């Protein structure tokens, strides 16, 4: 093993001991120590899920990309393994950038990634292979396997990255890679290989006509419910209504693959996440047929915050999300494995809300809520409904619904952040008639809100003091709600009994409570 990988392993082994478990989210993956960005190499190998990630063990800022490594049996309880790769060859001396993984018929775990080196200050990006059996990986002696000679006319070697590999029914391999023309617009290139090592250019699968940002990073291409789906993460987007926002975003295109021309065309496009922190997702087809996506739960434009580094880690992965297509749109749901995680259930039905209320037993920074809201009088919409969480006297984050405007807003303005960065985002929820369901997952430093059964998702991180664990509900106008609540920490529940009601009334009937909860 090369010195730089050994050093990274020793370093992470020593430093990660200094991170108490309570300083991490409970079921969202964080780096062993230091910095994490994109999920890489999400795969199922020898009975376990493997997830690698863009990793700088030495600092909580992006630099010197390694591949971090974790395994799990349920995609929620992750166990860190030693760093898998370090930038230790000339072709990847500037970084072991994003990529993917697959099991080959001889039982090897094959990693395909972008090796970056610098030449006269410019980054040269090539595709490389490493293989191993689940923990130690050897870089292929004939790396790089794709370089500038494999690029079609007019594409630059400076932006050629993030291979996503898969196997076809006939056993051969394909991969899609993000590339860029001199005019700075992204393309997705398709390559094929008989053995996973020798690759050939097939086609320009899709091209950015200027509709979605510039360079397209981290492509993924797969079949879902009979449709061809292309995911790309464009840089430098311009906003479009409430659908797309400026900066980096992730776009889902749904359409058809012209198998002859090996060209993808789409008839529908949408944002993958309508919140603040979600980027560079990757998917994996599980042995049971589910297509699951994990994204980096962060936003490039807000990472350089001085007040973010309270811990020896920075960067989180989203909860793994099951994908499907409903009415021509991408639908996401948290993986069903989460159900086994739930320790405690409380249910309130038919709660009248006008003003702000709390509900006995409902608080916590690691919790799951199903909230359904509707107007008390179907003829008269309420103005606004808000769910507050990570809340105390000074801080809170919220999700609010304005039926007259058909918008849902995520807002972390009062979460304790001190920088002038984006704190709010809105998405459209039309035709609701004032009824909305939210499936909200809070895990210490993040929230993921799945609206109307996964039709839209809003994700955001916040670094509020974990002691701010209040949850409240508020309406202007007369609304009625049902709440199902799970707290992932059974022992905290007793403390929640003394929660005071600020205003309004909680008149519903609690139908089930946790064992031991003092309500
Ligand atoms: C996306 C990205 C990838 C690249 C990696 C580098 O967030 O820019 O395109 O491979 O991060 O860390």
- At 12, which CATH number? 2.115.10.20
Ligand 1 centroid from CA 39, angstroms: 10
Report residue 415's pLDDT band, with 50, 70 and 90 as the boundaries: very high
User: What is the average pLDDT value for the chain, to the nearest integer?
Assistant: 93
Q: What is the pLDDT of residue 341?
A: 82
pLDDT at 208: 98
Cα separation, 462 vs 451, whole angstroms? 20
* Residue 332 in contact with ligand 1 by CB distance below 6 A: no
Do 261 and 292 belong to one domain?
yes
Whether 194 maps to a domain, the answer reads yes
Q: CB of 53 closer than 6 A to ligand 1?
A: no
Catalogue the active-site residues.
38
In a domain, 306, yes or no: yes
Residues 368 and 303 in one domain: no
Does 501 fall in a domain? no
* Token pair 């799945």 in the structure block, residue: 450
User: Are residue 328 and residue 342 in the same domain, yes or no?
Assistant: no
- Asked if 163 and 147 count as a contact pair (C-beta separation under 8 A), the reply is no
- Report whether pLDDT(305) > 80: no
DSSP state of 185: -
pLDDT over 60 (residue 47): yes
For residue 253, the enclosing domain spans 3-16+26-334
The label of the residue with tokens 């021509």 reads 328
Which atom of ligand 1 lies at the shortest distance from residue 97's CA? 10
Average pLDDT of 103-120?
98
Q: What is the mean pLDDT of residues 201-214?
A: 98
Closest Cα partner for 139 from 177, 88, 63, 178? Answer: 88
Instruction: Over range 173-187, report the average pLDDT.
Output: 96
Task: Give the integer Cα–Cα distance in Å for 92 and 126.
Answer: 8
Q: Note whether 197 and 84 are same-domain residues.
A: yes
Supply the pLDDT for residue 418: 86
Mean pLDDT of 317-326: 98
Residues 318 and 342 in one domain: no
Query: Do 327 and 360 share a domain, yes or no?
Result: no
At residue 307, the pLDDT reads 56
225 by DSSP, 3-state: which?
A: coil
Half-sphere exposure of 223 (CA within 13 A, CB side): 11
Atom number in ligand 1 closest to CA 162:
10
510 found inside a domain: no
Q: What pTM was estimated for this model as a whole?
A: 0.93
Residue predicted with more confidence, 310 or 60: 60
pLDDT at residue 509 in the model: 32
Share of the chain above pLDDT 70, in %: 93
Q: How would you classify the pairing of strands 34-45 and 313-314?
A: parallel
| Statement to judge: residues 79 and 141 lie in one domain | yes
Indicate which atom in ligand 1 lies nearest the CA of residue 114.
10
* Angle CA 308–5–300, to nearest 5: 30
Check pocket membership of 299 for ligand 1, CB cut-off 6 A.
no
Q: Is the pLDDT of residue 330 over 70?
A: yes
Share of the chain above pLDDT 90, in %: 89
Q: What is the pLDDT of residue 234?
A: 98
Among residues 491, 485, 482, the alpha carbon closest in space to that of 440 is found at 485
CB proximity list for 242: less than 8 A, separation 6 or greater = 274, 407, 426, 427, 428
pLDDT of residue 419: 86
Say if residue 364's pLDDT is above 70. yes
C-alpha distances in Å from residue 470, one per residue of 331, 379, 387? 30, 32, 11
Claim to verify: residue 375 and residue 466 sit in the same structural domain? yes
Q: What per-residue confidence (pLDDT) applies to 489? A: 63
pLDDT bin (cut points 50, 70, 90) of residue 507 is very low
Is the confidence at residue 412, as pLDDT, over 90?
A: yes
Neighbours of 36 (CB within 10 A): 27
193 lines ligand 1 (CB under 6 A): no
* Domain annotation covers residue 421: yes
User: Do 358 and 264 fall within a single domain?
Assistant: no
Q: How many domains does the chain have?
A: 2
**In a shared domain, residues 104 and 186:** yes
For residue 162 and ligand 1, the question of a CB distance below 6 A is answered with yes
The pLDDT of residue 490 is above 50: no
Tell whether ligand 1 has an atom less than 6 A from the beta carbon of residue 66: no
Instruction: Say what the pLDDT of residue 500 is.
Output: 27
CA distance 138 to 328: 42
Atom of ligand 1 nearest to the CA of 99: 10
Contact 83, 66 (CB under 8 A): yes
Whether the Cβ atoms of residue 97 and residue 81 lie closer than 8 Å to each other? no
CA 213 – ligand 1 centroid, Å? 15
Average pLDDT in the 51-79 region?
97
Residues 342 and 329 in one domain: no
26 Rama class: left (phi>0) / alpha (psi -120 to 50) / beta: alpha
Is 60 exceeded by the pLDDT of residue 119?
yes
**Strand (E) or helix (H) holding 3:** helix 3-16
Cis bond before residue 326 (omega within 30° of 0): no
Q: Does residue 329 share a domain with residue 278?
A: yes
Give the list of residues 6+ apart from residue 509 with CB closer than 8 angstroms, or none: 348, 349, 350
State residue 173's pLDDT score: 98
Averaged pLDDT, 247-264: 97
**For residues 130 and 163, is the Cβ–Cβ distance under 8 A?**
no
d(CA 221, CA 291): 11
Residue 486 scores a pLDDT above 60 = yes
Say yes or no to pLDDT of 89 above 90: yes
Does 42 map to a domain? yes
Beta carbons within 10 angstroms of residue 147's beta carbon: 17
Q: What are the tokens at 167? A: 């196997």
Q: What is the CATH number of the domain that holds 386?
A: 2.60.120.560
Residue with CA at minimum distance from ligand 1 atom 9: 217
């Amino acid at each position: 093993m090369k010195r730089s990988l050994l050093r990274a392993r020793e370093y992470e082994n020593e430093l990660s001991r200094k991170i108490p478990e309570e300083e991490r989210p409970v079921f969202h993956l964080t780096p062993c120590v230091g910095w994490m960005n994109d999920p890489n190499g999400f795969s199922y190998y020898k009975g376990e899920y493997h997830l690698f990630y863009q990793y700088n063990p030495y600092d909580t800022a992006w630099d010197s990309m390694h591949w971090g490594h974790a395994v799990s049996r349920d995609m929620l309880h992750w166990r860190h393994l030693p760093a898998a790769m370090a930038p230790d060859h000339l072709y990847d001396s500037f970084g072991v950038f994003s990529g993917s993984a697959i099991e080959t018929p001889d039982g090897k775990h094959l990693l395909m990634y972008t090796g970056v080196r610098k030449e006269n200050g410019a980054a040269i990006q090539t595709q490389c292979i490493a293989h191993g059996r689940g923990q130690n990986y050897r870089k292929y002696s004939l790396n790089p396997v794709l370089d500038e000679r494999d690029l079609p006319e007019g594409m630059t070697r400076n932006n050629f990255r993030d291979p996503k590999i898969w196997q076809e029914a006939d056993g051969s391999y394909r991969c899609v890679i993000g590339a860029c023309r001199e005019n700075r617009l992204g393309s997705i290139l398709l390559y094929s290989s008989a053995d996973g090592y020798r690759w050939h250019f097939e086609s320009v699968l899709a091209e950015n006509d200027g509709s979605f940002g510039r360079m397209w990073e981290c492509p993924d291409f797969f079949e879902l419910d009979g449709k061809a789906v292309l995911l790309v993460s464009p840089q430098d987007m311009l906003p479009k209504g409430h659908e797309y926002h400026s900066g980096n975003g992730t776009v889902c295109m749904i359409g058809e693959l012209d198998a002859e021309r090996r060209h993808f065309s789409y008839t529908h496009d949408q944002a993958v996440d309508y919140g603040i922190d979600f980027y560079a997702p990757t998917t994996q087809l599980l042995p049971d047929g589910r297509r699951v996506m994990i994204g980096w739960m962060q936003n490039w434009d807000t990472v350089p915050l001085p007040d973010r580094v309270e811990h020896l880690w920075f960067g989180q992965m989203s909860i793994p999300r099951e994908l499907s297509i409903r009415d021509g749109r991408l639908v996401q749901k948290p993986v069903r494995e989460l159900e086994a995680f739930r320790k405690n259930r409380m249910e309130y039905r038919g709660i009248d809300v006008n003003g702000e209320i709390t509900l006995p037993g409902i608080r916590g920074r690691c919790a799951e809520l199903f909230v359904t809201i509707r107007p008390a009088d179907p003829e008269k919409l309420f103005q606004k409904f808000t769910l507050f969480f990570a809340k105390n006297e000074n801080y809170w984050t919220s999700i609010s619904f304005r039926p007259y405007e058909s918008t849902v807003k995520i807002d972390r303005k009062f979460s304790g952040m001190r920088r002038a960065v984006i704190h709010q985002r809105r998405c459209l929820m039309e035709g609701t008639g004032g009824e909305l369901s939210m499936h909200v997952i809070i895990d210490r430093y993040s929230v993921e809100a799945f609206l109307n059964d996964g039709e839209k998702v809003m994700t955001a991180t916040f670094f509020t003091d974990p002691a701010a664990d209040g949850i409240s509900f508020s309406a202007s106008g007369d609304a009625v709600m049902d709440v199902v609540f799970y707290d992932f920490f059974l022992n905290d529940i007793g403390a929640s009994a003394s929660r005071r009601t600020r205003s309004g009334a909680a008149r519903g009937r609690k139908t089930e409570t946790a064992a031991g909860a003092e309500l």
